[in-house]
């Protein structure tokens, strides 16, 4: 298992490097430059390009960037916030997006698992139907519909929560965006948990466990849920990433100073370093979470863990 993890981390690093290179090439192909201002003269642009090293060929720039990045320097912003280093620019925004996303993941997973479990255990009852309705709504309605609905009812009518994000009331004002973001996760996880649990509950090993006379909670949690979790973990991984990296629309509705909106602004204004850094963070998170999921698989399912160990013993 250890060797497997080390190998996976090496592959991940190589993947990230490749992604970075592709990003550089794509930005090179993008029309315009950060200094698209008509007031600037040709020589001024050339001067700026030279200052930021943009006059060098793309490959040299790539190598320089990687070199700086390894020492923690992601460069400076060209247009959005002139000459501020990307690290400071993100320091205030990234935590907000990650926090709200993390809350949404947690809420969505816990509620989704519970709903799915109840639906499976009370199969073909009113609980089951309710869960199905919630799942269909959650999957088919986009998150901004929930965001608008929640801010109109709970925010505007009842005035329980602030309509817009306030830095000084960070917890309270993150409630509505968290719920709106979590709905899709709730729906997906509930649907998967229900299906998987129903399948597991009908399996022979559950019948054997039942005939051993084990108490109900042990049957459901130890024998049932663990086996049902394997496919659920698979669908959860991409959901986690998309939530952690912030949702553009929900951030706009609640005017949250997160990274979702920053990325769009950066792309519009050709702020190369911001784009590269954000895209890099997205990729790194995605790869990281995929790695975590793979390790989690091994922990949950001995068949996967042992198969991997066998592979390494043979090689």
Partner 1 sequence: MNKDKVLSIRDLSISFQTSAGEVNAIRGVNLDLYQGETLAIVGESGSGKSVTVKAIMGILSGNGKVKSGTIDFTSRKSGEEMKEELLSFSKKEMRRRINGRRIAMVFQDPMTSLNPTMPIGSQIMEGMRYHYKTNKKEAYEKAVKLLDLVGITEPEKRMKSYPHQLSGGMRQRVVIAIALSCDPEILICDEPTTALDVTIQAKILELIKDIQKKTGISVIYITHDLGVVAKVADYVAVMYAGKVVEKGLSEEIFYDPRHPYTWGLLSAMPDLDTHDEVLYTIPGSPFNLLNKTEGDAFAERNRFALNIDYRLEPPMFQVTETHYAATWLLHENAPAVSMPEALKDRIKRMGEEVNSLGGE
Q: Which residues bind partner 1 (CB under 8 A)?
A: 123, 203-205, 207-216, 218, 222-223, 226-227, 300-303, 306
Cβ nearer to partner 1, comparing 234 with 265: 234
Question: Residue 160 phi/psi, 5° resolution?
Answer: -80, -35
What span, in angstroms and rounded, lies between the C-alpha atoms of 297 and 212? 27
Cβ at position 315, least distance to partner 1 in Å = 20
Cβ nearer to partner 1, comparing 107 with 113: 113
Cβ at position 307, least distance to partner 1 in Å = 9
Cβ at position 117, least distance to partner 1 in Å = 17
Report CA-CA distances (Å) from 208 to 47, 51, 203, 212: 77, 73, 9, 6
Q: Name the packing angle between helices 272-300 and 302-314 (round to 10°).
A: 100
**How many Å from the N-terminal Cα to the C-terminal Cα in the chain?**
13
Two structure tokens written together for 297:
């698989």
What span, in angstroms and rounded, lies between the C-alpha atoms of 97 and 146? 18
Cβ nearer to partner 1, comparing 56 with 308: 308
Cβ at position 189, least distance to partner 1 in Å = 20
Cβ nearer to partner 1, comparing 23 with 118: 118
Burial 240-257 (b: 16+ CB within 10 A, else e): bbbbbbbbbbbbebbebe
Cβ nearer to partner 1, comparing 10 with 299: 299
Cβ at position 302, least distance to partner 1 in Å = 5
Cβ nearer to partner 1, comparing 43 with 124: 124
Cβ at position 28, least distance to partner 1 in Å = 49
């Amino acid at each position: 298992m250890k060797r497997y993890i080390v190998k996976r981390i090496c592959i991940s690093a190589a993947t990230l490097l490749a992604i970075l290179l592709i990003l550089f090439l794509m930005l090179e192909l993008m029309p315009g430059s950060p200094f698209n201002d008509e007031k600037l003269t040709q020589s001024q642009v050339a001067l700026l390009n030279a200052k930021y090293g943009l006059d060098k060929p793309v490959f040299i720039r790539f190598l320089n960037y990687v070199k700086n990045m390894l020492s923690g320097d992601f460069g400076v912003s060209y247009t959005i916030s002139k000459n501020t280093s990307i690290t400071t620019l993100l320091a205030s925004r990234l935590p907000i997006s990650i926090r709200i996303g993390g809350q949404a993941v947690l809420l969505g997973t816990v509620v989704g698992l519970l709903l799915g479990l109840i639906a499976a255990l009370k199969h073909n009852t009113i609980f089951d139907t309710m869960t199905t309705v919630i799942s269909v709504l959650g999957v088919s309605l986009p998150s901004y519909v929930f965001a608008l609905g929640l801010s109109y009812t709970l925010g505007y009518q009842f005035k329980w929560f602030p309509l817009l994000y306030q830095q000084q009331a960070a917890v309270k004002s993150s409630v509505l965006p968290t719920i709106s973001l979590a709905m899709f996760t709730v729906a997906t996880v509930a649907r998967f948990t229900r299906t998987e649990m129903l399948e597991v509950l009908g399996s022979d090993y559950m019948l054997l466990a039942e005939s051993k006379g084990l108490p109900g909670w042990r049957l459901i949690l130890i024998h049932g849920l663990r086996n049902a979790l394997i496919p659920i973990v698979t669908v959860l991984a991409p959901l986690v990433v998309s939530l952690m990296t912030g949702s553009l629309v929900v951030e706009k509705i609640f005017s949250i100073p997160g990274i979702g909106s920053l990325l769009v602004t950066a792309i519009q204004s050709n702020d190369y370093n911001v784009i590269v850094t954000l895209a890099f963070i997205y990729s790194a998170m995605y790869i990281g979470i995929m790695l975590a999921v793979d390790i989690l698989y091994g922990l949950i399912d001995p068949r996967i863990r042992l198969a991997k160990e066998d592979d390494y013993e043979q090689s």
